[in-house]
Amino acid sequence: MSAIQFEKRGHQAWITLNRPEAKNTLNGEAFVGLADAWDEVRADTDIRVAVVTAAGDEDFCCGGDLGDVIPLWTGAREPTSELEERLKNDPLISDKVMLKGEPLYKPVVAAINGRALGGGTELIQATDIRIAAEHAQFALPEPKLGIVPGAGSMVRLTRQLPWAHAMKILLGGAPVSAGEALAMGLVSEVVPLSDLQARAEYYADAICAQAPLALQAIKRTALETHTQPWAEAFGFEMGQAADIMMSKDAREGTRAFREKRAPEFSGE
């Protein structure tokens, strides 16, 4: 079976890390598959939201499968397939997986079904609405191996959380429980595992009921202005607002409100 499963459900893309027997670690196939999945979400104008989750009920993602990918990246092993050629020869593959390169302005929901360690914790930082199962744990154990969490955490975490919370995860070494992650603001909500799928579906459906261009403009503004001075950020915001006001969906939304009916948004 594929290491990454991609399923399109109406306007939703469901991306599943599918290596439960290996703690859903990212091997070469998973790296390439997840990068391709994000590209498809970005390129398909019919997709309005992505949901990323994982198979099984123990692990969301426990980082990279180092035994598989490191030998290729260091040259200790030569590629034996087209997939491995891509993994070795694309220096930005990790950035693509963690959405560090080309931005993705469509909303992303994470349904965290278990432990998110190392790259798993880094991956959820690239998502927007994060729902964690009660038994989920989060940690960045890379310094215990003499390396750093360099797939986004050293930058993103201090921008997404208060300093002391971010540093507890970055420097503390110990796993953080789902409840503590909720208190920190690392996740949006915590639910029983049995409710996880339904909550992810709820948010995906709620997103699809809204104007896609408006939501993308909101996310784009939040990302682009995060470190800008106030005046510059407000200018960017006004530009986005003006663009959206000229869209067909803006006209449809106001018309539907007057006519007391549900709007039919087209993404135009």
CA distances from 144 to 23, 36, 123, 140, 167 (A): 19, 31, 19, 9, 15
Cα–Cα distance, 33 to 38 (Å, whole number): 9
The 10s digit of each residue's pLDDT in 43-66 is 999 999 999 999 999 999 999 888
Per-position DSSP letters for 157-201, written without gaps between them: HHHHS-HHHHHHHHHH-S-EEHHHHHHHTSSSEEE-HHHHHHHHH
Cα–Cα distance, 160 to 113 (Å, whole number): 21
Tokens of 267: 């993404």
Average pLDDT of span 6-14: 98
Percentage of the chain with pLDDT > 70?
Answer: 100
What pTM does this model have? 0.94
pLDDT of 49 reads 99
What is the set of active-site residues?
122, 142
pLDDT of 68 reads 80
To the nearest whole number, what is the mean pLDDT of the chain? 95
Burial class (CB in 10 A: 0-12, 13-18, 19+), 90: middle
- Cβ atoms of 99 and 116 within 8 Å: the answer is no
CA distances from 2 to 16, 20, 25, 27, 219 (A): 10, 12, 13, 11, 30
Least confident window among 85-94, 175-184, 213-222, 235-244 = 85-94
Cα–Cα distance, 1 to 165 (Å, whole number): 38
- Collapsing DSSP states into helix, strand and coil, what is residue 54? strand
Average pLDDT of span 185-190: 99
- Collapsing DSSP states into helix, strand and coil, what is residue 154? helix
Tokens of 229: 């001075």
Least confident window among 86-90, 189-193, 216-220 = 86-90
Q: Which ranges of the chain would DSSP assign to H, the alpha helix? A: 28-43, 66-74, 82-89, 93-97, 119-124, 153-160, 163-172, 178-184, 193-208, 212-224, 230-245, 248-259
Cα–Cα distance, 161 to 54 (Å, whole number): 24
- Cβ atoms of 65 and 84 within 8 Å: the answer is no
Average pLDDT of span 98-120: 97
- Tell me how many degrees the CA angle 44-50-55 measures, rounded to the nearest 5: 125
- Tell me how many degrees the CA angle 202-204-205 measures, rounded to the nearest 5: 65
pLDDT of 54 reads 99
**Sign of the dihedral through C-alpha 181, 187, 191, 197:** negative
